[in-house]
């Protein structure tokens, strides 16, 4: 029996090592073949986004081909609208870049004049920008000027994603029937149930995130309009897009907006800088750091810490698009692990843990009551047991 148990443990350890190696190899393939794997992942993400619309059109008895045309048209309108706004933003930045370059130099002169009091040996030509060995103006100009080349690359990738999405939509009605005939009945039903849960979970995430992102973008836009901050549309669009990157995206757009207010308003209008700081931080604290993590952690039952870890991992593998896909991928992994008995501990670790708190407290209270009952029924180690009749009370 001991030999059998030891052999079982050895096999189990080898299986775990091989599974871990397979996961590492799979992630390595995703990173090295990102030119192929990333468009597929983005197409699946868009498919999950428009799948509720397809289901709604199906319940309304709309023919499948018409539903596909409507869905693809909606995706195309959103994409080309985004491209138009992006081009508009780049042109606005190019037109105002010389003015803001002069504003940065003025701000540098102001700060350098203040800092020279602490560095008297620096000389009268002391400048903070001179210590930064980066031609930031040249880099910004060249990046904005080369946007047309980047736009061609974006359009080619979008075309590939669009083609993959088209075939996904065409295969949508035949996927579940093929699974039903390809696998035994119990396995096919389990797999179909898993796909349904994934669909509901991702749709829930996208709906919550889209609502919060649109609200954040609208509030950032109104903040810029009220305070007179330039490029109000830019900050609104950036807030919508970067809000899909949990925590980090909110920090980036808030820091960029505050930095822009400093460049524009200092030193003549400090009060507007204060308004921008208070309003943007309040928006992110309420929507980005309170409501959004709570909805993700409770409604989607995912740990905020694990969300940040997933964000770092997929950002390393696929860059910025990987950060957008981090939470949906984590949700899929959680659902799959919950349905596989040997992987259920992983699903528990990925969850928010709210549902386990009461059960854990009940177990701990039962353990304490059990220990207390044992201590009352059995003498402690410090007690001295005297023979019957030798206690003083027995006399």
The 10s digit of each residue's pLDDT in 237-292 is 889 888 888 778 888 889 989 988 888 887 777 898 899 999 999 998 888 767 77
Q: Which two tokens stand for residue 151?
A: 């736009």
Neighbours of 240 (CB within 10 A): 21
Window from 233-237, 354-358, 366-370 with minimum mean pLDDT:
354-358
For residue 223, what pLDDT is reported?
93
* Largest CA-CA distance found in the chain, in angstroms, rounded: 106
Does the structure show a pLDDT above 90 at 356?
no
User: Where in the chain are the domains?
Assistant: 10-182, 186-369
Model pLDDT for residues 20-29, shown as the tens digit of each residue:
888 899 889 9
Contact indicator for 317, 32 with CB cutoff of 8 Å: no
pLDDT-derived band of residue 392, with 50, 70 and 90 as boundaries?
very low
- So what's the pLDDT on residue 354? 65
Q: Report the distance separating Cα 275 and Cα 281, nearest Å.
A: 10
pLDDT tier at 157, thresholds 50, 70, 90:
confident
What pLDDT is attached to residue 62?
Answer: 86
d(CA 232, CA 88): 12
Which value, to the nearest 10 degrees, does the dihedral of the CA atoms of residues 147, 150, 156, 157 take? -120
Confidence band, pLDDT 50/70/90 cuts, at residue 122? low
Q: Which two tokens stand for residue 55?
A: 């289901």
Tens digit of pLDDT for each residue in 83-111? 888 888 777 777 777 777 777 777 777 77
Q: Look at residue 8 in the predicted model and tell me its pLDDT.
A: 67
Residue predicted with more confidence, 297 or 316:
316
pLDDT at position 158: 87
Does pLDDT of 333 surpass 60? yes
Chain-centroid distance, C-alpha 232: 25
Residue found under tokens 């980090």: 248
234: number of Cβ within 10 Å: 23
Confidence check: pLDDT of 355 > 70: no
Q: How far apart are CA 196 and CA 185, in angstroms?
A: 16
Place of tokens 């980036």: 252
**Cα(299)–Cα(288) distance, rounded to whole angstroms?**
15
For the segment 313-319, the average pLDDT, to the nearest whole number, is 89
Give me the DSSP letters along 326-337.
HHHHHHHHHHHH
Buried-state track 334-372, b at ≥16 Cβ within 10 A, e below 16: bbebbeeeeeeeebeebbbeeeeeeeeeeeeeeeeeeee
Q: Please tell me the pTM assigned to this model.
A: 0.72
The per-type count for the chain, helices as H runs and strands as E runs, is 14, 0
**Residue-level pLDDT at 125:** 62
Q: What is the mean pLDDT of residues 35-51?
A: 87
Binned at pLDDT 50, 70 and 90, residue 14 comes out as confident
């Amino acid at each position: 029996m001991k030999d059998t148990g030891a052999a079982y443990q050895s096999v189990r350890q080898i299986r775990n090592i091989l599974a871990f190696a397979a996961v590492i190899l799979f992630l390595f393939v995703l990173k090295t073949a990102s030119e192929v794997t990333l468009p597929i992942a983005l197409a699946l993400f868009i498919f999950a986004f428009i799948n509720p619309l397809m289901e709604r059109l199906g319940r309304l008895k709309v023919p499948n081909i018409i539903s596909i045309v409507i869905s693809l048209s909606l995706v195309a309108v959103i994409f080309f609208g985004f491209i138009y706004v992006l081009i508009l933003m780049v042109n606005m930045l190019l037109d105002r870049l010389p003015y803001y370059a002069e504003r940065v130099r003025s701000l540098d002169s102001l700060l350098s004049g203040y800092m020279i009091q602490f560095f008297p040996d620096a000389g009268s030509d002391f400048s903070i920008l001179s210590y930064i060995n980066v031609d930031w103006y040249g880099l910004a100009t060249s990046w904005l000027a080369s946007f047309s080349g980047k736009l061609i690359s974006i359009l080619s990738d979008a075309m590939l994603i669009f083609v993959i999405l088209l075939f996904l939509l065409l295969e949508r009605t035949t996927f579940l029937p093929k699974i039903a005939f390809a696998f035994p009945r119990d396995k096919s039903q389990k797999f179909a149930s898993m796909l349904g849960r994934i669909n509901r979970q991702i749709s829930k995430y996208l709906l919550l995130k889209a609502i919060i992102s649109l609200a954040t973008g609208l509030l950032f836009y109104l903040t810029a309009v009220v305070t007179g901050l330039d490029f109000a549309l830019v900050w609104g669009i950036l807030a919508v897009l970067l809000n899909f990157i949990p925590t980090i995206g909110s920090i980036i757009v808030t820091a960029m907006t505050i930095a822009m207010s400093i460049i524009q308003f200092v030193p003549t209008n400090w009060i507007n800088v204060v308004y921008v700081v208070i309003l943007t931080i309040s928006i992110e604290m309420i929507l980005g750091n309170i409501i959004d993590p709570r909805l993700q952690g409770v409604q989607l039952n995912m740990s905020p810490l694990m969300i940040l870890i997933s964000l770092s991992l997929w950002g390393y593998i696929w860059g910025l698009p990987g950060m957008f896909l981090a939470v949906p991928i984590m949700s899929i992994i959680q659902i799959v692990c919950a349905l596989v008995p040997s992987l259920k501990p992983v699903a528990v670790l990925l969850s928010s843990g709210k549902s386990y708190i009461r059960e854990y407290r009940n177990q701990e209270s039962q353990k304490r009551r059990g220990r207390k009952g044992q201590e009352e029924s059995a003498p402690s180690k410090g007690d001295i047991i005297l023979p019957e009749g030798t206690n003083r009370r027995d006399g």
